A and B are shown apart, each in its own frame.
Chain A
């Protein structure tokens, strides 16, 4: 099964079976000492990652860079399209075909939905989707699963509460599908205007997990094993007044944490803008910085697998 990873595009979490995801997580676990710099590796020496970021990103871009560099490979690309031929009106298809000739693997972040699938259509080398529009962000999903499994060991039957922008937040959609596949019980907490889209809910439901919905975090937080918080993203709102109305509705602070399970963990894909009070960082519940670090071993595993350096 692992032989099937070489040359594979990583476009959507839906392209992966449960066994394949488990394999990625297992390989990622082995990458942790290299990701921490405790061990050195030349596994991907001579390989080049094309890092095409058409949208700003800190964590995803840096962790791809670090992952490739820690494995002995090199990175070229851009972190904003200004100045690139893209700004001169080049199509994504042409940019991808050009970079495909220079690199061994491409990580792509793009504002349009489906951009990664289009890139995979034109590139011979593997495309790794680093987030496309409101669509998929499979490596984020993998690192989220890695974090949950590391903390909770088993995902079957755990209560995961997802809170915040569940309508526009792309991480939540792919994560909820993957969690349902692993047998987690999901609760979606959001104001009605930002609740999980029906289509997404149906997808989760079809996996045999009846998700719950609520608009009050207080009502459900006591039973949570994992509290997954997302930023309410201003840039996704067509109407600024709608943003103002809902921003700050679900703030996580020490007061909220009074009645939670002792081993409940709080995750956030970051950046946060006031959703989690800074004093929460000092509690054992806070796992979002570990989560951000976990992007490195997970992306190392994916790069190694698709390039054939890892089995």
Chain B
């Protein structure tokens, strides 16, 4: 098989080992829209030693905030984050699914009080990591459809 080469970036973030098919959702999470001013590379369906196939997203001149990392962990729990500074990997870590998810996802239950105009952040407890299952702290409803409900 021909080796896949990824061009190094000078500064920014490489999100590697994204679950295959999730790259576009990751772009949405990190807020990549039509008006980007730095280079963003998206690699989809890349051969992976760990999981057969994976996606990769590289964002130049940008580091992610904790809420973005939590969201990525929810849709792709094995993703690794490489923070690149001056062509070197300054930090590398696997995203971690937090125990409590606050404010980053809406409750999939349309009858939940958090879907009304109340001044409250949504809150979920992670009941299971494989597959990711969240329980709404308010209405107690279990949620497994994560990507569709991320804010």
Contact = CB atoms under 8 A, between A and B. Distances in A.
A, B assembled together: yes
A11 B67 CA distance: 29
Interface in A184-243: 199
B51 interface: no
B118 A118 contact: yes
Contacts of A117: 113, 137-139
A136 interface: yes
B140 A12 contact: yes
Contact of B120 (A121, A135, A136): A121
Interface string B95-128: 0000000000001010111101111100000000
B120 A110 contact: no
Nearest to B137: A117
Given A133-B139, A135-B140, A136-B140, A113 B118 contact: no
A112 B140 contact: no
Q: Is the interface of B mostly helix, strand, loop or mixed?
A: loop
Contacts of A111: 111
Interface residues of A, number: 20
Interface string A136-175: 1000000000000000000000000000000000000000
A91 B138 contact: no
Contacts of A136: 140
A93 interface: yes
A114 B140 contact: yes
A199 B119 contact: no
A93 B120 CA distance: 9
A37 to B, nearest CB: 37
Contacts of A121: 120
B22 interface: no
Interface string A105-119: 000001111110110
Contacts, number: 55
B28 interface: no
Contact of B112 (A14, A92, A93, A113): A113
A184 B140 CA distance: 23
A34 interface: no
Given A117-B137, A133-B139, A112 B117 contact: no
A118 B142 contact: no
Nearest to A114: B138
A93 B142 contact: no
| Best-surrounded residue of A91, A117, A121, A133 (most CB of chain B within 10 A) | A117
A91 B111 contact: no
A117 B140 CA distance: 10
A221 to B, nearest CB: 31
B109 A113 contact: yes
A134 interface: yes
A112 B120 contact: no
Contacts of B111: 111-113, 133-134
A119 to B, nearest CB: 9
B95 to A, nearest CB: 27
Given A135-B140, A136-B140, A114 B112 contact: yes
Given A12-B140, A114-B136, A114-B138, A91 B112 contact: no
B85 interface: no
A1 to B, nearest CB: 24
Contact of B119 (A12, A93, A135): A93
Given A134-B111, A199-B142, A112 B116 contact: yes
Interface string A53-95: 0000000000000000000000000000000000000011100
Nearest to B122: A114
| Best-surrounded residue of A113, A115, A133 (most CB of chain B within 10 A) | A113
B141 interface: yes
Nearest to B110: A113
Contacts of B137: 114, 117
Contact of B113 (A12, A14, A92, A199): A92
A235 to B, nearest CB: 12
Interface of B: 107, 109, 111-114, 116-120, 136-142
10 contacts: A12-B140, A91-B119, A92-B116, A112-B111, A112-B112, A113-B109, A113-B111, A118-B138, A132-B113, A133-B113
Given A113-B138, A118-B118, 6 more contacts: A92-B116, A92-B118, A93-B119, A114-B140, A117-B139, A133-B113
